[in-house]
C-alpha cells in the first residue's frame, strides 16, 4: 500500500476511535432510558438491567442458555433461555434444595448473606447438560439434566474445601473431562484437574497450577480447532480486566496472557461471562458489569467479539488490540419478538413460577398453591430474630429492574392473619430493607412502614382486602402506597433508596411472619410488575 494511503487509513481509524471514545463518554451509568431489544433489529446495553451476576453462556443448536449465581436464594443457580442472545426468559433452576449445599442456607439458620451459590458454568456434553458451581465455604458442586427444564440431579460435591471459586468443566475431543478453578485464599492460584468419566470426581494427582495473578478468577476453558483457550479476569492498576492465554496442550505451556478488554470502571467493569458462537459463525460475549455498589446489582450486557491474531477481543478494539464497551448493535439473530424474564403472576399454576426465588431454603409446609385455588398462601411462623425481615423465613422474591418506570402491585387477603403477625411488600438487600404492610395485635390491623427496624404506624385497616404498591425509576427511589379498593392509593412512608448489599442488587418481595407464634397466614391473589 502506498504511504499516502496508509496515512489516510490511519487517519480514518483514528477518527473512528475518537468517535467511539466520545460515544462511550456520553453514556452515563444507570441512565438507561432504553435497553434491550429496540424493535428495529438492534439492541442497547444493558440487555437486562437487573441482577444477573456471574454469567456463563452456551449454544445448543439454535438455542442459547445462560446461567447466573444466586447466592442464598432458592431455588438456586438460575438458568435462562434465548433464541437471539438479547431476549431472555427464565427456564429453570439447577438446585431445588440449597440446604443440601449447606445447612446455613436453610430457613432455620439463614446465615449466608454474601455467600452461598457463587459463579459457575454450564456445558452440553454426551447429550446432557452439565452445571458446575462453587460455594466459597463448602467447595465445588455439580449437577446434570437430560433436559434444560430438568429435573436436575441432586447436587454432588466434587471438592469439599473452603476458599475456591469460579470453576468450569471442559471435555476434550477424546472425551476426557477437565475442571479449572481458582483457589482464592491461596493467592488466586488457578488449578487444572482431570475428572473421572462421570464428571463427579477431581483426580488429585492430575492437579496443576496453570496461572496466578492478582485476583485471577472467572475461569472458562474452550477449544477452538486445535488450540486451548483459558479465559479469566484479573485486577490491574485500572481495575478488573478480561484476560486470555492459549496453548496447543491443555496443560501448557500457555502463550500470553493477552488482555482482551479494558477495566472501564466508569462502566462498572464488564468482565465475567461467556463467549459464544452463533450458527452463522459470529462471536459474542455475554457479560455482567462486575463493580459493586449499584442498587440494581450486576446487570447483563452483550458485546461483539472481534478475532484479531486469533485472540477474541471483546467489544471495540483499539490500536493496542484491547476492547472497550459497546452500548448498541445489530441483534445477532433477527426475527425474535422482544421479551424480558417473567415478572407478573396470578398464582394459577400448580407449581411456583420460575421468576420466584425464596430468601433462603423455604419451610416447605408453610406455603401452598393448592389450599386456595388461584392464590399463594404464605403461613406465618416465628422469625429467627424478632422484627428482623432478614431473619424471617419464606420471604418470596424476584429481581428489581433499573428502568425508567417500575410499578409493582400486590393484592392481599388478610382474613387469616393471627395475633403478632406481620405481612406485606418489601424491598431488601442485606443489611438494608424497607417494608410496607399490616401488623395485627389481635384486635386491630394497622398499616406499618418499616425501614430496617425503624417503624412508623399508619391507619387502621378495617377490610380484609388490601392492595400494596411500590413505584421507582432509574434513580431507585421507591415510594410505597396502600389501597383498600385497588383504585385509590395513598402514599405511606418516605421514599426509600434501593440499595446494593451482600453482592446482590435490590429484591422486591412478599413476606409474612409472626413474632409471637407459628400461626396465621396470608393469601396473595396476584402480583403485577410493569416495567419499561
Whole-angstrom distance, CA of residue 8 vs CA of residue 18: 15
Pick from 446, 531, 123, 139: nearest CA to 131: 123
Which residues make Cβ contacts (< 8 Å) with residue 514, sequence separation at least 6?
380, 381, 382, 418, 420, 421, 422, 520
Q: What is the 3-state secondary structure (H, E, C) of 296-307?
A: CCCCEEEEEEEE
- How many distinct helices (H) and strands (E) make up the chain? 1, 41
| 249's grid cell | 496442550
- What distance in Å separates the CA atoms of residue 448 and residue 483, rounded to the nearest whole number? 13
- Percentages (nearest 5) of helix, strand, coil residues in the chain: 10, 50, 45
Determine the Cα–Cα distance for residues 487 and 481; give it in Å rounded to an integer. 11
C-alpha torsion angle, residues 198, 115, 152, 170 (rounded to 10): -40
Give the cell for residue 123. 456445558
Contact yes or no for 478/459 (Cβ under 8 A):
no
Residues marked active site are found at 54, 217
CA neighbor of 480 nearest in space, from 464, 489, 469: 469
DSSP character for 338?
P
Residues forming a β-bridge with 18: none
The contacts of residue 164 (CB under 8 Å, 6+ apart) are 134, 136, 139, 140, 181, 182, 183, 184
Alpha carbon of 7 to those of 11, 18, 198, 527: distances in Å? 6, 16, 58, 61
Amino acid at each position: 500500500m502506498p504511504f499516502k494511503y496508509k496515512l489516510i487509513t490511519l487517519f480514518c481509524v483514528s477518527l473512528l476511535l475518537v468517535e467511539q471514545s466520545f460515544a462511550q463518554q456520553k453514556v452515563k451509568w444507570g441512565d438507561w432510558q432504553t435497553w434491550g431489544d429496540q424493535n428495529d433489529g438492534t439492541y442497547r446495553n444493558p440487555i437486562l438491567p437487573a441482577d444477573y451476576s456471574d454469567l456463563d453462556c452456551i449454544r445448543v443448536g439454535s438455542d442459547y442458555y445462560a446461567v447466573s449465581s444466586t447466592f442464598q436464594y432458592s431455588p438456586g443457580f438460575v438458568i435462562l433461555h434465548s433464541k437471539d442472545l438479547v431476549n431472555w426468559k427464565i427456564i429453570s433452576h439447577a438446585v431445588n434444595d440449597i440446604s443440601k449445599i449447606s445447612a446455613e442456607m436453610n430457613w432455620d439458620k439463614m446465615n449466608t448473606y454474601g455467600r452461598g451459590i457463587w459463579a459457575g458454568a454450564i456445558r452440553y456434553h454426551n447429550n446432557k447438560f452439565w452445571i458446575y458451581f462453587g460455594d466459597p465455604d463448602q467447595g465445588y458442586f455439580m449437577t446434570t439434566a437430560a433436559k434444560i427444564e430438568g429435573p436436575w440431579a441432586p447436587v454432588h460435591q466434587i471438592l469439599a474445601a473452603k476458599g475456591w471459586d469460579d470453576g468450569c468443566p471442559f471435555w476434550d475431543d477424546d472425551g476426557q473431562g477437565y475442571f479449572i478453578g481458582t483457589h482464592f485464599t491461596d493467592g488466586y492460584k488457578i488449578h487444572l484437574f482431570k475428572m473421572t468419566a462421570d464428571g463427579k470426581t477431581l483426580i488429585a494427582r492430575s492437579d496443576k497450577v496453570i496461572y496466578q495473578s492478582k485476583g485471577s478468577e472467572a475461569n472458562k476453558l474452550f477449544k477452538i480447532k486445535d488450540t486451548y483457550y483459558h479465559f479469566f479476569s484479573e485486577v490491574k492498576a485500572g481495575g478488573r480486566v478480561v484476560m486470555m492465554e492459549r496453548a496447543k496442550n491443555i496443560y501448557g505451556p500457555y502463550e500470553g496472557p493477552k488482555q482482551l478488554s479494558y477495566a472501564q470502571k466508569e462502566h462498572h467493569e464488564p468482565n465475567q461471562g461467556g463467549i459464544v458462537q452463533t450458527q452463522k459463525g459470529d462471536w459474542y460475549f455475554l457479560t455482567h458489569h462486575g463493580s459493586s455498589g449499584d442498587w440494581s446489582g450486576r446487570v447483563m450486557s452483550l458485546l461483539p467479539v472481534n478475532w484479531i491474531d486469533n485472540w477474541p477481543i471483546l467489544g471495540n478494539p483499539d490500536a493496542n488490540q484491547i476492547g472497550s464497551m459497546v452500548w448498541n448493535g445489530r441483534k445477532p439473530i433477527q426475527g425474535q419478538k422482544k421479551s424480558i424474564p417473567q415478572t407478573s403472576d396470578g398464582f394459577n399454576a400448580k407449581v411456583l413460577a420460575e421468576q420466584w426465588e425464596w430468601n433462603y431454603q423455604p419451610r416447605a409446609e408453610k406455603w401452598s398453591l393448592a389450599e386456595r385455588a388461584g392464590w399463594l398462601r404464605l403461613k406465618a411462623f416465628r422469625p429467627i430474630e424478632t422484627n428482623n425481615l432478614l431473619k424471617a423465613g419464606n420471604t418470596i422474591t424476584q429481581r428489581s429492574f433499573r428502568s425508567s418506570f417500575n410499578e409493582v402491585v400486590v393484592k392481599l387477603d388478610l382474613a387469616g392473619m393471627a395475633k403478632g403477625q406481620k405481612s406485606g411488600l418489601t424491598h431488601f438487600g442485606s443489611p438494608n430493607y424497607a417494608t410496607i404492610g399490616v401488623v395485627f395485635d389481635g384486635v386491630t390491623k394497622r398499616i406499618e412502614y418499616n425501614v430496617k427496624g425503624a417503624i412508623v404506624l399508619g391507619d387502621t385497616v378495617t377490610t380484609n382486602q388490601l392492595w400494596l404498591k411500590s413505584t421507582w425509576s432509574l434513580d431507585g427511589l421507591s415510594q410505597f402506597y396502600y389501597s383498600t379498593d385497588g383504585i385509590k392509593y395513598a402514599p405511606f412512608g418516605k421514599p426509600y433508596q434501593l440499595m446494593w448489599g451482600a453482592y446482590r442488587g435490590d429484591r422486591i418481595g412478599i413476606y409474612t411472619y409472626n413474632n409471637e407464634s407459628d400461626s396465621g397466614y396470608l393469601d396473595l391473589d396476584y402480583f403485577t410488575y410493569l416495567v419499561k
